[in-house]
Amino acid sequence: MLLSSFIHFSTPSRCLPIKTCTRCCQYSTGRSVRKVDTPVLLKNTLTFNRSGGHGGKQQYIGLNISQKRCFSSECDEVGHQHEHGDVRVRFAPSPTDLITHLHTHTPTHTHLHTDQSRLVPGAAESIEDMLEWAGIPPDESPRGGGQYGPYLQSQRLSLYSQAADSLVQTGKAYRCFCSQQRLELLKREALRSGQTPRYDNRCRHLRPDQLEEKLDQKVPHVIRFRLESGVEPFNDLVFGWNRHEVAQVEGDPVVLKADGFPTYHLANVVDDHLMKVSHVLRGSEWLISTSKHLLLYRALGWKPPVFGHLPLLLNRDGSKLSKRQGDIYIQSFQRSGALPEALLDITTHCGSGFNSNRVGRKMEELIAEFNPSKITTHSALLDLDKLPEFNKIHLQQRIDDAVQRDWLVRDLQVRIQEVYGTQVQDQDVLQPDYITRILHLRKGHISSVSDLVSSEYSYLWVRPSFSDQQMTALSSETQHIATLVIRLMEGLKGGEELTVDQLSVELKTLAKKTSNTKYRDVMKIIRLALSGLQQGPSVAEMMVSLGPSEITHRFNRVLQQH
């Protein structure tokens, strides 16, 4: 698979705060040394927070680890030495796949890199937009630039070519002229004989004159890396010591394709090295390929980074998350009204890394409660059917927070205009005070702001329609009841704020002023006049939501229909 896009995270002059090592629990900012809180980890991702701290950006970095050990960037126990300096990690989403990338919260430095040969138009921009929405804007990207660019893979082809040429010149790689037809025949023959398909390394053994002849004839070719035995073991941050003798089970892999684009194997090594990535954190499916990548590092004469392979995030039935599941695209969550902190919460809740699980934790709480010794190697099952409940809890928290509530108001303003447009007859329903009142009243009852623009709540934004027959079917005293409601509202227009409890009492008193209409039917008439519906929130809450002026307007329409 071709590495197509990535984001980097870095923290100047800091160690990874994983174990109780004095050096690893601090980072320096100029002359001062500041403590770093315990990090948070999301499955498949690195988690971090941008709040507080030096320059308004205290930063946290989380690593998935199953064994307690020191993670100073000077000595990492993976057998690789790193100079004390930047801790840089990268997030590698593909612009053709925008599925789970919200599950990356990180407090350091970000680069986004895309492969335009497979790029869906606007996909790279969408990734950055989603990161902005999630509260983790990239520090380096195609849009924002940065010190280690370019960040479009198509603009880095010369770098991959140089690395591949270096491997060829040192005898660590070779040019392969095998046609696609030959490779397909090899595959068919292997499958027919019950073997795993692999390249037979034929072009390894081309004589110099044969090689020269094919180059003169401009025969299309790829560059393959020579797999050698003698792979060194490495200590993975999650899975511990690992070693895979890939040369015994695989043919020499392609590292540079005929079109000049690299495969993942070369691209990830070159990009990690040139962008000074110190720790590679990726899904556990890449664990078996790490020995191959370490061979590439050795062949290029580069020091490898630290590797940590994280448990995968799977569907509830154990199947892999796939971009073919359109409902798990980040944009789908955003459109449905899902909150980024709710997605973070449900992701961490279904995984490991905590002493106990509870719903409703914010980033700061996840950071404080994270326990790296609790990380397991088992995949996590994501039950998205539970997302509405998570979202409801985090929505309540946002409504109670003045700053976050303003964000909700703006979001709802956009949604109202998108859904109802010209049907909105009174622009006052778009006023922040009105929307804020609705949010407070419906807090704990709705799972997302998108609920409030459903037909169930249309009466909040659009004046309802109902027939005279609907009214008379409920009572012959419809006009009398409408007049009583208008009088009640006139008595409450003196600036007194309506409350649900107060109106509940007033409505019981009002119902007693009718001759032959039961309280239940009075409520049905008022509900129909206010919303055009037969069910919904209590009548008293509906009235508090709409306010005296709008209630009066709607009941005047009842009088006019007779």
What is the full DSSP assignment across 480-536? HHHHHHHHHHHTT-SSPPP-HHHHHHHHHHHHTTSSS--HHHHHHHHHHHHHS-SSS
pLDDT at 142: 82
Q: Please tell me the predicted confidence (pLDDT) of residue 286.
A: 93
- The burial class, CB within 10 Å (0-12 / 13-18 / 19+), for 412 is buried
Q: Report the pLDDT value the prediction gives residue 145, as an integer from 0 to 100.
A: 86
Cα 399 from Cα 407, distance rounded (Å): 9
- Residue 445's pLDDT is what? 96
157-166, 346-355, 369-378: segment of lowest average pLDDT: 369-378
Q: Which residues pair with 303 in a beta bridge?
A: none
Least-confidence region, from 7-16, 26-35, 182-191, 458-467: 26-35
Q: Is the pLDDT of residue 60 over 90?
A: no
CA atoms within 13 A on the CB side of 99: 15
Residue 297: pLDDT band by 50, 70, 90 thresholds? very high
User: 176 or 490: whose pLDDT is higher?
Assistant: 176
Using one digit for the tens of pLDDT, what is the confidence trace for 536-560?
999 999 999 999 999 999 999 999 8
At 271, list the tokens.
């990009």
Q: Which of 106-115, 319-328, 369-378 has the lowest mean pLDDT?
A: 106-115
Phi–psi pair at 225, nearest 5 degrees: -90, 135
Whole-number pLDDT of residue 124: 76
Nearest one of 152, 107, 92 to 281, comparing CA atoms: 92
Question: For residue 73, what pLDDT is reported?
Answer: 31
User: Does the pLDDT value for residue 126 go beyond 50?
Assistant: yes
* DSSP conformational letter for 240: E
What average pLDDT is seen over the chain?
80
User: Are the CB atoms for 125 and 143 separated by under 8 Å?
Assistant: yes
Structure tokens at 340: 């980024």
Please say whether the beta carbons of 115 and 305 come within 8 A. Answer: no
**Listed residue (198, 211, 230, 219) closest to 171, CA to CA:** 211
pLDDT band at 139 (very low <50, low <70, confident <90, very high): confident
Q: Which two tokens stand for residue 519?
A: 């309280």
Q: Percentage of residues in the chain with pLDDT exceeding 90?
A: 57
Q: Which two tokens stand for residue 547?
A: 């306010």
347 exposure class (CB count in 10 Å sphere: 0-12, 13-18, 19+): buried
What's residue 93's pLDDT? Answer: 60
| DSSP H/E element including 224 | strand 222-225
pLDDT of res. 194:
95
pLDDT at 452 over 80: yes
Return the residue matching tokens 């980074």.
Answer: 305
Please state whether beta strands 87-91 and 254-256 pair in parallel, antiparallel, or not at all (unpaired): unpaired
Residue 219 pLDDT exceeds 50:
yes
Mean pLDDT calculated for residue range 206-222: 96
Beta strands of 363-428 (E only): which ranges?
380-382
Q: What pLDDT sits at residue 536? A: 93
Mean pLDDT confidence for 388-411: 95
pLDDT band at 374 (very low <50, low <70, confident <90, very high): confident
Q: What's residue 6's pLDDT?
A: 37
Enter the pTM of the model.
0.72
pLDDT at 238: 87
Q: What is the mean pLDDT of residues 518-535?
A: 95
Q: Is 547 left (phi over 0), alpha (psi -120 to 50) or beta?
A: left
Structure confidence at residue 113 (pLDDT) = 53
Answer with the residue of higher pLDDT: 22 or 452. 452
Q: In this predicted structure, which of 46-50, 259-263, 350-354 has the lowest mean pLDDT?
A: 46-50
**Cβ-Cβ contacts under 8 Å for 87 (sequence gap 6 or more):** 10, 11, 14, 15, 16, 61, 73, 108, 278, 279
